[in-house]
Structure 1
Amino acid sequence: MEAVASRVSQALLAAAESLYAAAWEARRRAYARGWRRPRSVPARVVSVGNLSVGGAGKTTLTLHLARAARARGIRAAVVA
């Protein structure tokens, strides 16, 4: 019974993945063809990222940067 449930789960997840991939590709093409345009925001944006996932200190660094900006009178927000 568990094997059947596992196969059904895998099939449902594969279908969901295909739909998500198709939507993502349609969105990418819309930007590439100029049908959609990127939006600008009236703010400076700092993006903190890394190739590693988890435990690299990105959250800690982000919070440190936001606190340092606020200490200098700069409004800062963190969006996760």
Structure 2
Amino acid sequence: MHYKTIVLELLQQQTEWHEQLRRQRQLLPTMERLAQELKLDHESLKGVLSQARPDSDPIQIASEALEIAIQELRDRFPSEVPPDE
């Protein structure tokens, strides 16, 4: 799984935040931190969904867990970007 690629694409969709992180030289550390969070959330959700539906296809569970983890990550993104200090 390419968590960093997924997170970078999500950040690029948040143009103001992406640009601010880039200007502050925080894009890479933020992307790496969020990618690690996404990976941990994905793994956790796979476990939860596997226990809830033990007869389900593991690939389907992994896909659904990733969709949920991505949405939860998006929900944690700032709705407004504070101005640079």
- State the TM bucket, normalised to the shorter chain: 0.3 to 0.5
**Structure with larger Rg:** 1
Question: Which has the larger helix fraction?
Answer: 2
Larger relative contact order (Cα-Cα within 8 Å, sequence gap ≥ 6)? 2
* TM-score, with length taken from structure 2: 0.34
